[in-house]
Structure formats: structure tokens, C-alpha cells
Amino acid sequence: MQEILDPEACTTMREVRAGVDAVDTELVQLLKRRFGYMDAAARIKPERGHVRDEARKAQVIANARAHARAAGIPDEAIGDLWELLVEASIAYELVKFDARPARD
């Protein structure tokens, strides 16, 4: 197994690619955790119409952009990524909501 270096320590493209692959693996695990919260939301929300919340969506994207700016990475690109992430999360949550057992 190749040692994963910090970006500043990389001197070869092999090291860079290994780092990117390692970060991607971590990101997928974080996304799995995030989607777990969508499972919880689908279980908790009383009505299907509550799944889409445009005010919350805007807040989540604004938060991500602010964190990106603070981290010194392109906030517009992060905003675009979060737009896709939130829409995918909503779609996922709707599927999970619709799969819930009927409630009396």
C-alpha cells in the first residue's frame, strides 16, 4: 500500500493520484453518512411535502459556499456541487419517504 502524502509533499503524479483516490474514498464515506441523515429525515418528516424545503436548501448551499471561501477554495464551484448534492439528497429522501410503511 502506498503512503498517502499531503499535497505539498507530492513530487510525482503517482503520489497526487494516490492522494486524490484516498480523498475520494473518504468523501464517499462522508456522503454515505450524509445520506444516512436523509434516511432519518424521511423517517421523521410527517408529510411528503416537507421533503423539499427551498429555504433550507438555500441555507445549506450558502453554508457550503461560506466554508469554501474560508478554506480558500472556489466557492462558486462548491455552490454548484452542493446544488447537485442537495437535489440528489432530495430525490433520495423522496424515494425513502415513499417506501415507508403506511401509517394509520
Q: What domains can you pick out in the chain, each with its CATH number?
A: 7-98 (1.20.59.10)
Residue 30 to residues 9, 46, 55, 63, 87, Cα–Cα distance (Å): 25, 26, 24, 17, 17
- Mark the binding-site residues, compressed into ranges: 17, 34, 45, 93
- Mark the binding-site residues for substrate, compressed into ranges: 17, 34, 45, 93
Positive or negative torsion for Cα 82, 39, 42, 44? negative
Q: Could you tell me the pTM of the whole model?
A: 0.91
Q: Give the pLDDT score at 104.
A: 58
Q: Give the pLDDT score at 103.
A: 72
Which set of grid coordinates corresponds to residue 1? 500500500
Each residue's pLDDT, cut to its tens digit, for the chain (104 residues) gives 779 999 999 999 999 999 999 999 999 999 999 999 999 999 999 999 999 999 999 999 999 999 999 999 999 999 999 999 999 999 999 999 999 998 75
Identify residue 66 by its one-letter amino acid code: A
